[in-house]
Structure 1
Amino acid sequence: MSKKNIIFRVFIIFIMSFLMLVYTIPWANYKIDVPFSGRDYRLGLDLQGGIELDYKIDLDSARKDPGYDSTVEKEIVEGLKTIIDKRVEILNINDSEINDASYGNEKHIIVQIPLKGNDTLENSKNIETAKEAIGKVVKIAFKERRTEVTEADLKERENIAKEAEKEIKSGEPFQVVASKYRLNFENIKIGKAENLDNFKKENGELKEKEINEVKDQGVGGFLIYEKKDDKKYDYIFIEKQPSAWKDAKDSKGRTLNDKYFRKASVVYSQAGQPLVELTFNEEGGKIFGELTTRLVGQEIAIFVGGELLTNPRVNEPIYQGKAVITGQRTPEEAKKLAGDINTGVVPAPIYLTSEKTIDSKIGGEALDKLIISGLAGFLLILIFLVIIYRVSGFMA
């Protein structure tokens, strides 16, 4: 073999090795932008660590059903896990883990989401997006306009505050109660505050609770708070005035909700206009028919998790158990509304109880050591081959 051939082959080997390194090394993990490099490596929970979200399943309503048993409970838990898995998958979060757990009489779903790289801001945004998507596992409710505020309505607001306080006193975590009441009732604020005096000036308060004790009286509503440290408080604020909407009920007192609702889907009119079609079960069709007869010319609002999604006007009585919502300008807009409505069709609501960071079992440092060890091993083999076989060994 001539000297020129040897030099040419060595040169080709170096070029190929360099290109392989450029393509295979996860440069993005080290915040280095290299053109034509391979895809980012997803390290998963073991290597990168992540976040663990603990959701409590609210089985109170389900347990009141005469047919409730362990089989039904298992179906509810598995159904919720499937829903959460689909929502996490839509967010393009791979390698997540979704498991159920039991704590005494409570059922929980544990969602573990791996972090992506070392970008703290990006990871924070991803976690908040995941929490928002998963946390929408809540109930749907149909409501009509409130024409007046009665003493009974005001009393109901006070009872809501008392029930929330009662649950906290019974040992239910403050965060769980806060999330539960915000998602199930309107005109309720939750959050964190550093200065309660400023909060009171802005909102007023009728009653406030600190460490389960009633403190003062005000006019704006009911303030329940828990002191976290010297400067921060978690709070639930139940406004004294009810919202502009009330539950849509038929003459038998039945409330139109997820129990009578099947699904929302996108359909198209003969003119090609996107519409959102609502489908009710047989009983729901009858309730909806009575409501639309009574509310012709008025609005029926759809709430999911206490959030108003849409409030279409009733043009005529609808008895066939199906209705369409018009006004969507694009198919994407119709799909979004249908998807948001369907988030309220769940076997049971869930509420976030805790959030904690998961340490990596192996860790990024260990991965770096593995890469260095691999390169060192490769170099040792290369040196051995060169010593024994000279140039032929190097090319091999």
Structure 2
Amino acid sequence: MKKNWFRTIVIIVVFLITIYYLLPLIAKNNYAIVNMKVYDQDSTLIYEINEHEYKMGSKLFGTDFDEQIAMADINDSIFVSGKLPDYMLRSVEGDIDFTQDQLIQAEVVEKTSKVELPSWFSKKELKLGLDLQGGMHLVLEVDTEDLSTDATTNAVNSAQKIITNRIDQFGVAEPTIQKIGSKRILVQLPGLRDAGRAKELIGKTALLEFRLVANNQDIGSAVEAIDEYLKANYDKYAYLKEIEQEQTSAVEETLLSEEPDSTADSTAIEPEETSRDHLFSSLVSVYGQRLIVRKENLDLFKKIIELPEIKEVMPEGVIILLGKSDEKNFPGARPVYFLYDTVELTGASLKSADVRIGQGMDPKIANKPYVSLQLDNEGSRIFANVTGNHINEQLAIVLDDVVQTAPVINDKIRDGNAMITGIPDMEEAKDLAIVLNAGNLPAPVNIIEERTVGPTLGSDSIDAGFKAALIGLVLVVIFMVIYYKLSGFIADIALFGNVLIILAVLTMLNASLTMPGIAGIILTIGMAVDANVLIFERIREELRSGKTVRTAIDNGYKRAVITIADANITTLITAVVLYQFGTGAIRGFAVTLSVGILASMFTAIVVTKAIFDGVITRKPRKSLSI
């Protein structure tokens, strides 16, 4: 009797925990689609508010948004004063600046009901995987060609950590970032809306360096040395003929300059006539003291400066780097910088990077976003020495071998503050701050596999998986009732409990439900019924041998439980191996299968036995419907 009471208490506790985790999933928050109008910007956007974002309503639109939408009916209008989140800006058609509070009208187009639950209910949600929710799947390979085995392991581990930090700051909910093999990293970003931005954010090495700009004498020597080398080796490089055939052109665009002499004569200086004597210098145009290369010459320019021989003939300690593309200040061109190869300071000394809006009258930053850099104590000391020793010279801020800006040092900077200017928009400024704060990757990463799953395809997968599970469940239920009668009905009750327990445990573990996971649930349904079939057949054998109903049930469970345990344990071992060595979807299948095996053993052996005992105890039976 004590054993029966203990078993009953265990069953009650298990199903109370199941209800605790599943009821919030059933009682979903408001789900609405709204048309929002930004009045003083004259632009409209369509935005869908899902359950997760609804609960953040007060954060997104102001403290009263969640209350207003909860009370609103379809076609009602809601007025909200608040800031729109960044990820909504990408859904906006038109150029809208949301840097300050705006008055927004939201019209409720579609809405479902909301069930209020006590605050002590679980706040966890059953997450949907990439294949069900939509998003991006990437496989990255860390370039470790020149690294030792130990260095490769450290580089991959460090890259995984840094990519995780970047994605966390990017704001993707429940990403998956894990190692595959020795030098690959799997990245899954469910619900991602801006795939291009994410790829750039993940793949950027973010190697930050401070280098001094070479003086005019060294620049002239470098250009002359390259011209002489190309003239002497003209026949060695076929593409040099393209340069010789190009016609001379002048720089017609008015360009803004960061140089100290930008107020000097700004008349575009026409390049010298193209000839074999000036193959390199003919690719470069001069504006004030700014060197630029036009977009049409950019490929040839890169081929030349990347030649190992060119690096050998250059003056010692001088390198050539391109500036970042800036169509506003340099339409159709890229700035060219001759720098000293000595790295004065690196990103290792960076304490923080913050996005700010420029104040004052300086045209470089006034009302424009820029990234403010704060160096640590050691970095501040080095920065003060560098700026103090090179007043009136230029200091280039280089990110991944691209010059971001090259301001003139006007005075010694003691506070360890620097800034990156010339950033076209707030989004790029935020991304730059993210990669700088997360740190630079120890080695370059290459995207070797990319797959994007749209939300529509994810919705179709959910429908297909739900239909498959439902059809399978209905067929099994009907079969069990027809073949085993009342006993089959008891098995069906346990089967429903099995599915509920699986979903509750997945929610409790913060696991993601994927299509392979749904397949695991369907497989578990069959395995759970298989356990009951073994038990029922053993009970039938006992009844045929003349045993009483009570004895037949007890003996039937005793005889079947070992076989059931053997079969399920071997399957569980397989699931553990799949989880240990698998990735992504395979792991999702393994988790669901493992949970399903344990749940099916509990419901098939414990729950159904308790129901049988309850039926027999209430009314002793001479026969059993089985």
State the TM-score, normalized to the length of structure 2.
0.32
State the TM-score, normalized to the length of structure 1.
0.47
Larger radius of gyration: 2
User: Is the helix fraction higher in 1 or 2?
Assistant: 2
